[in-house]
Amino acid sequence: MLNNIRIVLVETAHPGNIGSVARAMKTMGLKHLYLVRPNLFPSQTADALASSAKDVLDNAVVVDALDDAIADCHIVMGTSTRSRTIPWPLLSPRELAEKARDEFNHTQVAILFGREQSGLTNEELHRCHFHVQIPANPEYSSLNIAAAVQVIAYELYFASLTESQPGSWDYPLATAKELEGFYTHLETVLINMDFLNPKAPRQLMTRLRRLFGRAQMDVMEVNILRGILAAVNNKL
Which residues make up the interface to a second copy (CB under 8 A)? 20, 23-24, 26-29, 51-53, 92-94, 134-137, 140-144, 146-147, 150-151, 154, 157-158, 161
Taking the complex as a whole, the smallest distance from the CB of residue 63 to a second copy amounts, in Å, to 26
Contact (CB, 8 A) for 179 and 217: yes
Cα(8)–Cα(6) distance, integer angstroms: 6
Residue 158, amino acid:
F
Query: 209 CB contacts (<8 Å, ≥6 apart)?
Result: 126, 127, 183
State the Cα angle at 186 between 74 and 216, rounded to 5°.
25
CB nearer to a second copy: pick between 27 and 223: 27
Cα(236)–Cα(77) distance, integer angstroms: 36
Taking the complex as a whole, the smallest distance from the CB of residue 143 to a second copy amounts, in Å, to 5
Neighbours of 155 (CB within 10 A): 22
CB nearer to a second copy: pick between 52 and 203: 52
Is the peptide bond preceding residue 198 cis, with omega within 30 degrees of 0? no
Taking the complex as a whole, the smallest distance from the CB of residue 158 to a second copy amounts, in Å, to 5
SS3 104: coil
CB nearer to a second copy: pick between 29 and 42: 29
CB nearer to a second copy: pick between 85 and 137: 137
Taking the complex as a whole, the smallest distance from the CB of residue 236 to a second copy amounts, in Å, to 51
CB nearer to a second copy: pick between 143 and 219: 143
Taking the complex as a whole, the smallest distance from the CB of residue 55 to a second copy amounts, in Å, to 10
